[in-house]
Amino acid sequence: DVKVTQSSRYLVKRTGEKVFLECVQDMDHENMFWYRQDPGLGLRLIYFSYDVKMKEKGDIPEGYSVSREKKERFSLILESASTNQTSMYLCASSPPVGVWGYTFGSGTRLTVV
C-alpha cells in the first residue's frame, strides 16, 4: 500500500524556534506538496515541488521554506515559529504527468506557544 509518512503527529514548539516538519513518500512520486489546514479555511497550499531540489511557492508561503534533497523526502521549515502558525500541516504527493488525486499523510498538528 502506498504511503506518505509524516514524522510527527503532534508537535509543540516555542515562539521563535526553527521547526522542521518531515515528509517521506514511498511511491516514487515526483510531485510533493505542503498544505496547512485551518477550520473554516480548508486546505491552503504553502509550497510544492515537482522535482528534486526544485520548489515553488504556493498561496501562503510567507514564514515558511522547504527543502527537497531527495525525491522521496520533502521538508517544511518554519524559520522562526509564531503563534499564527499553529495549525494542522498536511503533506501530499502525486504522480508526475497529467492531473491526479493526491495521497496525503496523516498530518502534523503543530502548536506554537
Q: From the CB of 16, what's the least distance to another protein, in Å?
A: 28
- 2 vs 38: CA distance, rounded Å: 26
All 3 cell numbers of residue 65? 521554506
All 3 cell numbers of residue 57? 511557492
68 binds another protein (CB under 8 A): no
- Phi (first) and psi of residue 31, to 5 degrees: -95, 130
C-beta closer to another protein: residue 69 or 99: 99
Q: Are 91 and 32 in contact (CB under 8 A)?
A: yes
Please name the residues in contact with 78: beta carbons below 8 A apart, sequence gap of 6 or more.
13, 17, 18, 19, 21, 63, 64, 85, 110
Q: Which range of residues in 14-22, 38-46, 68-76, 78-86 is near another protein by CB under 8 A?
A: 38-46
Q: Per CB under 8 A, which of residues 76..105 are in contact with another protein?
A: 90, 92, 94, 98-105
C-beta closer to another protein: residue 18 or 53: 53
45 binds another protein (CB under 8 A): yes
| List of residues contacting another protein (CB under 8 A) | 4, 31, 40-43, 45, 48, 50, 56, 90, 92, 94, 98-107
